[in-house]
Amino acid sequence: MLRRVPAADPSALRPAGSTRGSHAPRIDGRAAPATRAPGRRLTGVPFAGIGGVRANGENRSMSFVSNPPRNSELALSTQDYSDDPITDRETDLYRGEYVRSFVGKWDELIDWDARAGSEGQFFIDVLRARGKRSVLDVACGTGFHSVRLTEAGFDVTSADGSAAMLSQAFENGRSRGLILKTVQADWRWLNRHIQGKYDAIICLGNSFTHLFEEKDRRRALAEFYAALKHNGVLVLDQRNYDAIIDHGFKTGHRYYYCGEQVVAAPDHVDEGLCRMRYEFPDNSSFTLNMFPLRKNYTRRLLLEAGFERVRTYGDFHETYQDSEPDFFVHIAEKSALRSTRWGGMTTESSGPDVREITEDYYDSDDADNFYSTIWGGEDLHIGIYEGTRDIAEASVATIERMADTLGRLDAATRVLDIGAGYGGAARHLARRFGCEVRCLNISETQNDTNRAKTRQQKLTHLVSVVHGAFEDIPEPDASFDVVWSQDALLHSDQRRKVLEEVFRVLKPGGEFVFTDPMQADDCPPDVLQPVHDRLGLTSLGSFRFYGEAARQVGFEIADQVDLTGHLSSHYARVAEELRAHHDSLADRVSREYMDRMLVGLDHWVKAADAGHLAWGIQLLRKPG
């Protein structure tokens, strides 16, 4: 909660944490150097917070001290390097680089308005989608993201290792009517300077590259991990140093450094140093020495630090060629208790929770890259192959056929898509009918892609996304006209419970239209285990099961259309495409995954051809 405080000279404040200019990290908040001799490390004593108050992740309060001692870092005006700056490769070096004269120009490089326009709601969506509220911005720089997130309603603590950056962040916040809660902190000893734990930590603006020693990187990540709640998330970005080292520097300044009048380019690049130079319109020039982190190295460090899942975006896009982005954004999720995620529900079986298996499978990089590439990019559902062999076209044909079965779809219709995947069906319905569509999906990786595609197609006013399980739909009773689902219910071992939840959220007279890969009504026992194994399933539904269960729940059976022939055609086409692109996909999808997938797809095709599987469109109606 923000409190207004009396106006104060920002140079008298003791700011916070790790720097990025608006974005370049400041990690070592322990000291306040007066001068720096060439080649010597800056040293000093730890301190933190405005008026010496420590930041608290649970109950963040702030007091103001009328005359705190001046931070001597704020007196530095000239960047301090040794006689041979290419040899200056120390973690603490940044403190002599972010001097007041440079920091005062940093916002020219960032261009807040252009930056806000280029990144859009990306970070806000990532945090809101995961239900996060308390955020520690450990590299707040001049405050760009601290201000944006605070204005969006998050409870933000702004940290940085550079006093100059913190001072500027505080002033930037104050000029916008905000009092930022700031704390100067060295990442390697972060938890000395904060109290409590946070829902999320953001480390943006290429800040992590100020750590030159691997031991410092590992120590900082361990501190980040410890400062997060059990289900917390770390969002960390970096320049695309792989492209700079391997192919040379080029940038369109499309997303991060948006100032049109500022030139940013490297003076020197090798495997251990990227020395960037920033030239401003008044002919002033400043430099930063940074360690050129390679993308996969950073991902490995995050996983080895204990983060359960790491998802990497290129310039805010889920799909990219490694040489294209200027920046990578890593979203690292800490381990979470599944009983908390799924509301303490238990499964009917004594084995593993199928929801855990499903979420982990679709959140994996292999699965996500496979489905987004081979399946057509918009969705991952079974297509109707009438007059086409194209997977994407066949998928759209399924959506069209399902929509045509419904009694009404128009701008007044509210639709809930359960198991929405990448959201292709939701966007199609929103575009064609102008209806509002709510997407419920268990994979946060797919949800992030769904949100990104929805933003790109300018449909955010109609399509929204929520993370959750369809056994416990987080929506009020009688709130939707239509519930929609494609090839998702097979992942539940509580299918009757799903039908009960759908019945609950439908308005009287509402309709549930869905497809689902099923076993044939007369399928012999024990012949489908290879089919189950591909997706970690315990069973499949059937036309008979859904008809009987729907009646028991209270539905009327409006239609059950058998389209099983397309099931075999679809999986055969997917296998054909995977074989054709096997080698080109090898840099994004492991060969082990692709080989297992080909075996699994073959089992599905053979089972369908043998008459053991079924698929089609089913329409249920709630009386009223």
Rounded mean pLDDT of 594-608? 90
Among the candidates 311, 333, 355, a domain finishes at 333
**For 110-119, 233-242, 419-428, 434-443, which range has the lowest pLDDT when averaged over its residues?**
110-119
Same domain, 173 and 285: yes
Q: Residue 559: beta bridge partners?
A: 619
Whether 234 is in a domain gets the answer yes
Residues 174, 304, single domain; the answer is: yes
Same-domain check for residues 315 and 395 = no
Average pLDDT in the 100-120 region? 79
159 has pLDDT over 80:
yes
Indicate the range of 267-276, 318-327, 415-424, 525-534 predicted with least confidence: 318-327
How high is the pLDDT of residue 188? 94
Q: Are residues 134 and 62 in the same domain?
A: yes
Q: What confidence score (pLDDT) does residue 357 get?
A: 62
Query: Greater confidence, 186 or 17?
Result: 186
* Count of structural domains within the chain: 2
Could you give the CA distance from residue 165 to residue 99 in angstroms, rounded to a whole number?
Answer: 9
Backbone angles phi, psi at 375, to 5 degrees: -80, -10
pLDDT for the residue 102: 87
Return the pLDDT at 359.
Answer: 63
- Please check whether residue 294 lies inside any domain of the structure: yes
Task: Please tell me whether residues 290 and 425 are part of one structural domain.
Answer: no
Question: Do residues 324 and 438 both lie within one domain?
Answer: no
Strands (E) across 49-118 are located at 55-56
Are 43 and 31 a contacting pair, CB within 8 Å? yes
pTM of the model: 0.59
* Structure token pair of residue 181: 């809660």
Pick from 333, 348, 367: which residue ends a domain?
A: 333
Answer with the one of 333, 349, 378 that is the final residue of a domain. 333
Residue 446: what pLDDT?
83
Region of 420 please: left (phi>0), alpha (psi -120 to 50) or beta.
alpha
Tell me the mean pLDDT in the region 111-139: 84
Half-sphere exposure of 245 (CA within 13 A, CB side): 15
Are 291 and 402 in a shared domain? Answer: no
Q: What is the pLDDT of residue 324?
A: 74
- pLDDT confidence of 350, banded at 50, 70, 90? very low
Average pLDDT (585-589) is 80
Q: Do the domain assignments include residue 472?
A: yes
Q: Which of 114-128, 168-182, 253-267, 338-352 shows the lowest per-residue confidence on average (mean pLDDT)?
A: 338-352
Mean pLDDT score, 148-156:
94
Chain mean pLDDT for the chain: 81
Q: Which residues face 266 on adjacent strands? A: 276
In a shared domain, residues 431 and 516: yes
Kindly state the greatest CA–CA separation across the chain. Answer: 83
With bands split at pLDDT 50, 70 and 90, how would you rate the model's confidence at 417?
A: very high
Q: Is residue 358 part of a domain?
A: no
Q: Are residues 89 and 186 in the same domain?
A: yes
Query: Tell me, what amino acid is at 384?
Result: I
Single-letter residue type at 577: E
pLDDT-above-90 percentage for the chain: 49
Does 14 have pLDDT greater than 60?
no
If you ran DSSP here, which 8-state letter would residue 317 be given?
Answer: B
pLDDT of residue 488: 93
Mean pLDDT of 554-578: 94
pLDDT band at 581 (very low <50, low <70, confident <90, very high): confident
- The model's pLDDT over 440-452, given as tens digits with 9 standing for 90+, comes to 998 887 888 899 8
Band (pLDDT 50/70/90 cuts) for residue 560 is: very high
Same domain, 264 and 128: yes
State the residue range of the domain holding 296.
10-333
* DSSP string over 469-537: -TTS--S-TT-EEEEEEES-GGG-S-HHHHHHHHHHHEEEEEEEEEE--EE-TTPPTTS-HHHHHHHT-
pLDDT tens digits, one per residue of 176-204 = 999 999 999 999 999 998 988 999 999 99
If DSSP codes are grouped into helix, strand and coil, which group holds residue 28?
coil
- Tell me, yes or no, whether 339 lies in a domain: no
Highest mean pLDDT among 185-199, 242-256, 369-383: 185-199
The reply to whether 595 falls in a domain is no
Tell me, what's the pLDDT at 344? 40
Q: Which of 225-229, 583-587, 617-621 has the lowest mean pLDDT?
A: 583-587
Q: Rounded to whole angstroms, how far apart are CA atoms 386 and 471? A: 34
pLDDT above 70 (res 321): no
Q: Are residues 320 and 248 in the same domain?
A: yes
Residue 572 located in a structural domain: no
pLDDT, one tens digit per residue, over 216-241 is: 999 999 999 999 999 899 999 999 99
Per DSSP, what are the bridge partners of residue 56? 195
pLDDT at 579 over 80: yes
- How large is the average pLDDT for residues 107-124? 78
Distance CA 302, CA 311 (A): 11
The 3-state DSSP class for residue 393 equals helix
Statement: residue 49 has pLDDT above 50: no
CATH number (domain holding residue 541) = 3.40.50.150
**178 and 111 share a domain?**
yes
Does residue 547 fall inside a structural domain? yes
Flag the least confident range among 74-78, 451-455, 565-569, 604-608. 74-78
Closest CA to 125 of 452, 374, 611: 452
